[in-house]
Chain A
C-alpha cells in the first residue's frame, strides 16, 4: 500500500529532512510515526501526499509510483487519501455540515450523494446533532472530529494524521485515537504522527521512530522511544 525505497528529501537549506528512509506499510495497518521535533515526520506526510517530491528514492502508494504521476493527475491521486492536522484546518465561516460537504463539493460529488454521506459520516464521528454549529462553537476535540469526518467522507483508502491530538487534552486525545482505531478497523490504512507517549505505549501498534531524518526503529506492537 505504501512503500518507501531509500527515500531522501533535502530542503534547499540545512541537513536532509529525510535521509535514506525505506519502509513498507500494508493495507489495513495502523502505524504510529514518532520522533523528536524536526525529525522529518511532517515531511514524510507531505511526500506521501505529493505536496513535496523526494530528492532521491522511490515512493509507491496504492501501486502507483508517485514520480510518475503527472501534475494534472495529482488531484485525482490525492482523493485516495484523507489528511488530518494538529490545527484542524476547518473553514471558520461554515458550519459543521458544510465543512464536511466541502470535501465532496470540491471533487464534484452530486448533491444528492452529499446529502446522504455527510450525515452518515457525522454520526460515525459522533457529531450528528451538532451539524449546524460553527467551528468556534465546538471544543477542540469536536473540531478534530469534524476534520476527521471531512477526511473520511470521500472514502479514502489511507488516512494520514499529523499530530491530530497535539492541541487536545488527554481525555479528548484518547477519544480521537479511539476514533482513528475504529476507522482503521473498518478497513482504512491509518498513519498517525504523534508525540503522545502514553497513548503510543498503551495502544500497542506498529511504531516507526525517526531521528534526524532517519528511521531508527520500526517495531510491531512497539513503544515510544524517547531520546534526546
Chain B
C-alpha cells in the first residue's frame, strides 16, 4: 500500500472516531473499564504469585533417622530421596552441624557448659527442598514409609488457602472482564455500524469509482482499533502512575506482614501488562469493527 493511501485511510479512520463522538467515547470508556479491571487483576495475581514463590523457596521437609543407623544406610536413604520427582534439592545436615546451629541460634554464650558432649547426637537429617509446594503431602507420605526414617517434619506452610482465594479472585474478575468485554464489543460494533450508516452514500460512491474492498473497509477497522488503543492506553497509564502509591499504602498499613509482603516493581509488572493490555484493547477494537464491517459492508 502507498504511504499516501495509508495516511488517507488513517485520517478517515480518525475522522470516523471524531464524527461519532458520543459512541466512540462510550466504547472507549467500556474498554477502559475492562482493561483497568484486567490490569488490577493482573497486578494482584502477579504479586501474589511472586510472594508465594518467595515463600515457597524457603519451604523444606526434614527427615530424621532411627537411632543407631549407619552412615551407609543414611546415604542409601539420601539416594532414594534424590530420585523422587518432587525433590528439587537435598542437603545433609550432620548431628554436629545441627548442634552448632542450635547453639548459635538459642544458646549463644551459654553453650560452653555442654563442651564436646553433643546432646543432638542422633539429630542428623536431610533437609529436602521441593520443586512445588503442592507436592509436599505426597512426598511426606512416601518418606514416612521408608525404613530407617524416624520422623518427618513438614513445613506448616500451606499454599492451599491462598490458592483458593487466588482462584476466587480470578473467577470473579474473569467473569466481570468477560461481561465488560461483551459490552465493549457490542458498543464498538454499534459505533462502527453507525459510522457505516452515516457514510452509506460515500461508500456507495467509492464502490462505483472502483475502490477495493480493502480501501472501503479499512477506515472503519482503523476506527475500531483507535478506540481500542485509546481505551486501553488510559487505564494502563493510570495503573502505571498509581501502582507505587498503592504499594506504599499497603506496606504502611500492613507493616506487620512486611516479611511476606514482597512486591514486584512497576516496571516488571508492565513488561507483561503493557503489551497484553494494549493488544487486548486494540484486539477488541479490531474484532468488533471487523465483524461489523463484514456484516454491514458487503462489497
Contacts and interface: CB of A to CB of B under 8 A. Distances in A.
Interface stretch (B144-152, B157-165, B207-215, B259-267): B207-215
B211 A75 contact: yes
B interface majority secondary structure: helix
Nearest to A160: B208
Nearest to A49: B208
Interface in B201-254: 201-202, 204-213, 215-216
Interface string A91-120: 100000000001101111011000000000
Contacts of A49: 208
B5 interface: yes
B2 interface: yes
Contacts of B208: 49, 51, 78, 83
A75 B204 CA distance: 12
Interface size class of A (residues with CB under 8 A): 20 to 34
B209 A106 contact: yes
B256 interface: no
B102 interface: no
A103 B209 contact: yes
A51 B201 CA distance: 15
Given A89-B201, A91-B202, A91-B205, A75 B8 contact: no
A79 interface: yes
A110 B2 contact: yes
B4 A106 contact: no
B209 A79 contact: yes
B33 to A, nearest CB: 33
B201 A106 contact: no
A77 interface: yes
Interface in A16-57: 49, 51
Contact of B211 (A77, A91, A107): A107
B2 A75 contact: no
